[in-house]
Amino acid sequence: MTRSTRQRGVIARILETAEGPLAVNDIHLRASQDLPRLGIATVYRTLKLLAEQQQIHAVTLDGETRYEAVGKGHHHHFSCNYCGRVFTVYNCPVQLPAGTEYPGGFVIEGHEITLYGRCPDCQKTQGPS
């Protein structure tokens, strides 16, 4: 830690406690409650810095860049088709160790999965689509 790290801490904590990756606007909105004068440029700069430090990383989902804290272990994302929120889920439905060779000669080093569907909240509040 170099020095004054107020916004860095606020933003890092927001991402650590979020239910899933957050969009920049959302981060700005949430952080503004603690830091009312916070500018969007600082949000971008802080996110870039945290990403370089490997504390967070970007995921692109449904055309939007979102950020999440690292250190959550292997996980995937669930995007609710009804409310648009994205959640982190820990069950992994595949067995694809690095080195696995896929038909066609593609050698696998990693994978990302996004699940789509209805989140628990939207099951309570809405009937079937």
Partner DNA sequence: ATCCTTGCAAAAGTTTTGCATTCCC
Partner DNA sequence: GGGAATGCAAAACTTTTGCAAGGAT
- 65 in contact with a copy of itself (CB under 8 A): yes
| 40 Cβ contact list (under 8 Å, min separation 6) | 24, 28
Kindly state the tokens that stand for 8.
């860095």
Asked whether 64 and 26 are in contact (CB, 8 A), the reply is: no
Token pair 């890092």 is found at 12
- 48 in contact with a copy of itself (CB under 8 A): no
- 62 in contact with a copy of itself (CB under 8 A): yes
Closest approach, Cβ 43 to DNA, in A, equals 7
In angstroms, the Cα distances linking 50 to 8, 40, 117 are: 8, 15, 31
Q: Which of 60, 72, 83, 125 binds a copy of itself (CB under 8 A)?
A: 60
Q: Among 6-14, 28-36, 43-51, 61-69, which window interacts with a copy of itself (CB under 8 A)? A: 61-69
Q: Give the footprint of a copy of itself on this chain (CB under 8 A).
A: 58, 60-65, 78, 81, 87, 89-91, 93-96, 98, 102-120, 123
